[in-house]
Amino acid sequence: MSTFKTEIVSPDRVVWSGEAQSVTFRTVEGSMGVLDRRAPIVTALDIAMMEVKTEKGKIEFAVHGGLLRMNGEELIIVTDAAEKAEEIDVYRAEKAKQRAEDLLEKAKNDVERYKAKASLQKNILRMRVGKKS
């Protein structure tokens, strides 16, 4: 199977860079994937797991939204945060999830509810992906 250059970048680091055979992810509109020579696309990513298949196996990431650009030969993901499964501290994610649930219960307005829901969603994802490692 042919490969394509792939980079996952966040503001503070290059999370992963290498040759991928395929990448599956969830956009704000639904799940999809890319292969080499795919038609160009730019799309917004949801807070969800991303799976990168390489010649050596698959790598799972918790991706916290962002943008994805595929030009047919190169895939670039720009995100606020992304973590490999083995980088995730599941215990810390569970504690953060509990804090987010508490904040959601105590939220006094839409902004506080939105922030608490986003934190809750991110930490549930981190727990799910981290437990797979």
Indicate whether 22 pLDDT > 70. Answer: yes
Asked if 14 and 43 count as a contact pair (C-beta separation under 8 A), the reply is no
Same domain, 50 and 109: no
Same domain, 12 and 33: yes
Same domain, 77 and 109: no
Mean predicted confidence (pLDDT) in 15-20: 97
Same domain, 58 and 118: no
pLDDT at 133: 60
Same domain, 16 and 80: yes
CB count in 10 Å sphere of residue 14: 9
67-88 pLDDT, tens per residue?
999 998 999 999 999 999 899 9
Q: Which residue shows structure tokens 């829901």?
A: 117
Q: Which domain holds residue 118?
A: 89-132
Of 47, 69, 85, the residue at which a domain comes to its end is 85
Alpha helices in 64-109 (DSSP H): 90-106
Count up the domains in the chain and report the number. Answer: 2
Same domain, 58 and 108: no
24-61 pLDDT, tens per residue?
999 999 999 999 988 999 999 999 999 999 999 999 99
83-131 pLDDT, tens per residue?
998 999 999 999 999 999 999 999 999 999 999 999 998 989 989 998 8
